[in-house]
Amino acid sequence: QGQIIIMAAVFDPENPNALRGDTVDEYPGGNKVADPYRWLEDPDGADTTKWVEAQVKTTNAYLSTLESRTFLKEKLTAKYDYPKTGCSFRRGKGSMDRYYFYKNDGLQNQYVLMTQKTLDAPPEVFFDPNALSSDGTKSLGPSSFSESGRYWAYGITASGSDWNTLYVKDIETGHTLEDKVEWVKFSGISWLHDDTGFFYSRYPEPKTLAAKGEKDEVEGDDVKRGSETDSNLNMAVYFHKIGDPSSKDVLVYSDPTVPKWMFRAHVSDDGEYIMVTVSESTAPVNRLYTAKVSDVMAHVAGGKGGSVAVQKVIDNFDAGYDYVTNEGQVFYFKTNKDAPKYKVITIDLGQPGEHKDLIPHKGDVLSDAMCVATNLLVCVYMKDAHETLWVYSLKDGSVVQQVALPDIGSVANCTGRKEDDEFFYSFGGFVYPGSKFRFDCKAMQSSLLREDKVVDHDPSYFETKQVFYPSKDGTKIPMFIVCKKGKEFKGDACTLLYGYGGFSISITPSFSPFRTVFIKHFDGCLAVANIRGGGGKGEGGGGGGARPPR
């Protein structure tokens, strides 16, 4: 802990440049670190507010001088105003078996969750987050349907904050229950298979917000969540029983000795196990703990407090382990353990030290894997920042079929359940707005469900190329170039260059109305450089992008 010495900086409204204050942090050993913009960390401070207002005024003063601004606004508004849909997914059983997908009519602030009884039935509105606020600043956070499909737990967040408040909807009656869980952040929602409750993660209420004593409810008008400056510490997994107030929620797992660790719970496909994944940063590594659901619920019923006893299957941060499915005590994971481009392995909880490869490490990056139709694995691979789709055997890891895609592009989403003989996927590209497909696992073929169509947009007008450029150490890095078909390059093309590489996130082909307007009406070019540090080359590619080689 260091001593903080603060000297105020006074903001001059006539000069929108942020003033450098005299704040200095002094640390043990006499080390001093200047923090001249500390005053901007108070989002509600008078000087911060004045500075933001001055920035907006200065920006608008410049933008108002641009002759093409009105033309550009009209074109962009027309291009963005088209119906957009997400990938379908199936939830529930028996009479509650439904299909769902997200839809935006064009210029809505938030996507609306739609539902269908069958894929041929007309879709109906299931939940519209746009009705939560007049300005569209409240949105849907994490959500999860119960196993039977009767209940839907969902989070609501306000004004861009990461904080969520959870609610529960009874789909059978259409009513929202009185259940309400607060201070949820960076959490999933995972149901017991008997629908009696769900697991989630939360933090303690921030002390700075509690001290203010201000109205701070998600449904209130004076939303302050996200303005606090507290560190997020002591995340814990809790169990919420349907019908109970959140004050009765039972602690399932935490570890106060490592307050920065993050714990998240997930119930296995067969409903017999709970997995607790542990992370300490955004790095793609995690610890993995398991427990029988019967033991967890005995702990919940016992009311003795503390954490449930777990089996620490992986107790280090050497690699990442993403759950795919399980057959009894044999679990399937996507992992980067000794595999920078990922592979699928099995771990027998009876012999957790033994890991067996099911789908070995390949030259392309395995970006997603899921189990469908009881014994099939659907895998998305990335090669040079575009994706391919494959079906494998869960039994022996052999290739069953490669799924044909319309063009070079991205599998934006892939959904399916182990018990269903179908799965769904979305395909998109730089000039393809998006197509949604259903794959029949019995016929082993795809069919088009929906296609997003933009007014006055013809994909054949454009051309997408992929080139490779050398990094400092000679490694070839992919880059996409999108322009008018047949355009000649003479070194004077107006080019929008975008690059990103970090956190193993890859920039794959995706549609943007702004980019197509820029290319068509301003004779521009788009260049998307897949900078090292993203996931396009696997974990090794990310490390190779650090410091000089980058």
Q: What confidence tens digit (pLDDT) does each residue in 127-181 have?
A: 999 999 988 889 999 999 999 999 999 999 988 889 999 999 999 999 999 999 9
What's the confidence (pLDDT) of residue 6?
35
pTM: predicted TM-score of the whole model, two decimal places: 0.83
Distances (CA, A) of 37 to 41, 55, 234: 8, 16, 28
What is the rounded end-to-end Cα distance, in angstroms, of the chain?
A: 34
Q: Which residue is listed with tokens 């590209």?
A: 429
Question: Does the pLDDT of residue 301 top 90, yes or no?
Answer: yes
Q: Which residue is listed with tokens 């201000």?
A: 214
Question: Does the pLDDT of residue 544 top 70, yes or no?
Answer: no
- Output the CA torsion 505→509→513→519 (10° steps): 120
Question: Does the pLDDT of residue 439 top 70, yes or no?
Answer: yes
What's the confidence (pLDDT) of residue 412?
86
Q: Which residue is listed with tokens 């494998």?
A: 392
- Residue 229 resides in a domain: no
- Higher-confidence position of 501 and 93: 93
Q: How confident is residue 249, by pLDDT bands cut at 50, 70 and 90?
A: very high
Q: To the nearest whole percent, how much of the chain has pLDDT over 90?
A: 66
Question: Does the pLDDT of residue 303 top 90, yes or no?
Answer: no
Question: Does the pLDDT of residue 418 top 90, yes or no?
Answer: yes
- Residue 464 resides in a domain: yes
What's the confidence (pLDDT) of residue 408?
82
- Residue 132 resides in a domain: no
What's the confidence (pLDDT) of residue 160?
84
Single residue among 65, 98, 119 that ends a domain in this structure: 65
Q: How confident is residue 224, by pLDDT bands cut at 50, 70 and 90?
A: low
Structural domain range at position 18: 3-65
Return d(Cα 296, Cα 190) in angstroms, integer: 14
Please give the structure tokens belonging to residue 368.
């997603």
- Residue 238 resides in a domain: no
Most confident of 56-60, 177-181, 279-283: 177-181
What's the confidence (pLDDT) of residue 222?
46
Please give the structure tokens belonging to residue 370.
């899921």
- The region of weakest confidence among 48-52, 218-222, 332-336, 396-400 is 218-222
Return d(Cα 32, Cα 21) in angstroms, integer: 15
Contacts of 430 (CB under 8 A, 6+ apart): 409, 462, 464, 480, 482, 509, 510, 511, 512, 515, 526, 528
Most confident of 21-25, 159-163, 272-276: 272-276
Cα 23 → chain centroid: 36
CA atoms within 13 A on the CB side of 488: 1
- Residue 517 resides in a domain: yes
Return d(Cα 386, Cα 367) in angstroms, integer: 11
Q: How confident is residue 356, by pLDDT bands cut at 50, 70 and 90?
A: very high
Single residue among 34, 65, 96 that ends a domain in this structure: 65
Return d(Cα 184, Cα 203) in angstroms, integer: 6
Single residue among 32, 65, 98 that ends a domain in this structure: 65
- Residue 538 resides in a domain: yes
Q: Which residue is listed with tokens 């027998």?
A: 348
Q: How confident is residue 502, by pLDDT bands cut at 50, 70 and 90?
A: confident
Tell me the pLDDT of the chain averaged across its residues: 89
DSSP string, 269-281: TTSSEEEEEEESS
What's the confidence (pLDDT) of residue 42?
85
The sheet carrying 3-5 orders its strands as 3-5, 24-27, 31-34
413 near 344, Cβ under 8 Å? no
- Higher-confidence position of 540 and 213: 213
Return d(Cα 290, Cα 333) in angstroms, integer: 13
* Residues 272-287, mean pLDDT to the nearest whole number: 96
* Residues 327-342, mean pLDDT to the nearest whole number: 97
What's the confidence (pLDDT) of residue 212?
59
Q: How confident is residue 83, by pLDDT bands cut at 50, 70 and 90?
A: very high
Return d(Cα 17, Cα 19) in angstroms, integer: 6
Q: How confident is residue 9, by pLDDT bands cut at 50, 70 and 90?
A: very low
Tally of structural domains, the chain: 2
- Residue 12 resides in a domain: yes
519 near 490, Cβ under 8 Å? no
Count of Cβ atoms closer than 10 Å to residue 350 Cβ:
9
- Residue 180 resides in a domain: no
